[in-house]
Each structure stands twice: as structure tokens, then as C-alpha cells.
Amino acid sequence: MDILGLHLSPRRMGNSAVMLEEFLRGAREAGAAAQSFSVADHNIKACQGCGACEKTGHCVIKDDDMRDLYPLLATAPMIVVSTSIFFYNVPGQGKALIDRSQALWSRRYTLKRTETLRPQGLGFLLALGATKGRDLFVPVTLCVKYFFDALGFPRTFESLFYRKIEAPGEMKKQPGHLKEIYEAGLAFGRKRPGAQPTVRI
Ligand SMILES: Cc1cc2nc3c(=O)[nH]c(=O)nc-3n(C[C@H](O)[C@H](O)[C@H](O)COP(=O)(O)O)c2cc1C
């Protein structure tokens, strides 16, 4: 797998799901192998803040779908996060996923396991919301920045943001946005490790 797509909204096939699909369609067109994981289809429990992972590097919660996601988070060379905005940040289900990456943060920062670092890792953030406030995407950018950091990725990443997208199905009516997202996915896919450089004739 080259790219892990994380969909952080509880709305199944909602606007951010469409956004992720379109991005991955572009990435696959570029030859990347992409896999997506949506919180809408999985059971993710909230971090209890018990501190056990600071000693072991592993979460004590074993009976939810993070079990399948941890190995992907720890190994994916490229990650795209697609999310809607709920109260200026990622929806609660998505935030639970991010909080559970504390186990990986602990491996990196508390246990100082430097093999967790992935300086070549590439992240991308897609986010949308209903309003048009200037600071609408500030908290999500910070949240995802430190999520990527916990995973050992660089703290810098590309992003696309869309305002005034509210009702389910709204994103599908935005051909300009969809084209931009598809093209960003195509460009991202071309950056995958081992990809042949684009030859310009
Ligand atoms: C609980 C809740 C909180 C929301 N908070 C915000 C917000 O703070 N700012 C905003 O612009 N939109 C907000 N919205 C609107 C959603 O971001 C918008 O409807 C979006 O298109 C949903 O995308 P999705 O289908 O991918 O979840 C909120 C929606 C819900 C249900």
C-alpha cells in the first residue's frame, strides 16, 4: 500500500467521503495503491488517558477497530486525511482516532524509538465546512499537524480547504472542486516512493 486514506466524518458517503474518493481516484490513476479507512464504518473507542502506552508503546484497548488500523498508521508511507469540520475541528469520531495515535506518540517521544520516524512520509489534508469564517481551518490544521508528527511524519503537508459545503451531496455538485481534488490526488500519487518521474517531452 502506498497511500492510506483516512475519512474522519461519521457521515457515510457525505461530503468529505466524496472528497477522499476523488483524491484517491486521482492517486490510483497515477499508479498508487491506495486503501481507505472511514470512521463511519468502524468502531473506535476514545482514549482513556491511562498512560499505559507510555510504558509499552501499545494501547490497552484491544477490542475495537484500531487493532487493524495501528499497523497501517505505523507503516503507510503516505497518508491523506479527509474531514468535515464540526465545531471548528474534526468530528468526535475522527478525533477519537487521532487521540488513539497517542500510542505511536509514546513510542516516538516517551520510549524514544527512533525507528518510528518517517522523514520521507508525505501527508495531505482535505477539509471542508459549511461556513466561510477566516479561521475555519486553523484548528484542524494544527490537530492534523501533530497527528502526523505522532506518526513520525514531517509536520508540513499540503492541504485543500472548501468553505460553504453543508448538505449531504453538496460536494458532488461542485465540478471545479472535484477537478482540483482529483488533480491533487494525481500529483500526490506521482510522489509515491519508487514512482517513475514524469517525463516531459
Ligand atoms: C455537529 C456539527 C458541527 C458542525 N460545526 C461546523 C463548524 O464549526 N463550522 C462549519 O463551517 N461547519 C460546521 N458543520 C457543518 C459541516 O462541516 C458540513 O455540513 C459538512 O459539509 C459535513 O461534511 P460531511 O458530510 O463530510 O460530514 C457542523 C456540522 C455538524 C453536524
Domain ranges of the chain: 3-190
Cα(11) to centroid of ligand 1, in Å?
10
What is this structure's pTM?
0.96
Q: How many residues does the chain have?
A: 201
pLDDT at 197: 66
Q: Mean per-residue pLDDT for 117-130? A: 96
As a whole number of angstroms, the distance between CA 68 and CA 101 comes to: 13
Contacts 24+ apart (CB under 8 A), 47-51: 47/96, 47/99, 47/100, 47/102
Angle 139-170-134 (CA atoms, 0-180°, nearest 5)? 30
Q: How far is the centre of ligand 1, averaged over its atoms, from the C-alpha of 126 (Å)?
A: 14
Given the candidates 1.10.287.1400, 3.50.50.60, 3.40.50.360, 1.10.10.10, the CATH classification of the domain at 3-190 is 3.40.50.360
Instruction: Give me ligand 1 centre to Cα 82, in Å.
Output: 13
Closest atom of ligand 1 to 14 CA is: 25
**116-120, 122-126, 146-150: the lowest-pLDDT one:** 116-120
Q: What pLDDT score was predicted for residue 104?
A: 96
Atom of ligand 1 nearest to the CA of 87: 8
Q: Does residue 201 surpass a pLDDT of 60?
A: no
Query: What tens digit of pLDDT does each residue of 28-71 get?
Result: 999 999 999 999 999 999 999 999 999 999 999 999 999 999 99
Q: Which of 9, 87, 172, 177 to mutate to test the pocket of ligand 1 (most atoms within 8 A of CB)?
A: 87
More confident residue, 59 or 194: 59
Average pLDDT, integer, range 126-153 = 97
For residue 16, which atom of ligand 1 is closest to its CA?
26
From the CB of 130, is ligand 1 less than 6 Å away?
Answer: yes
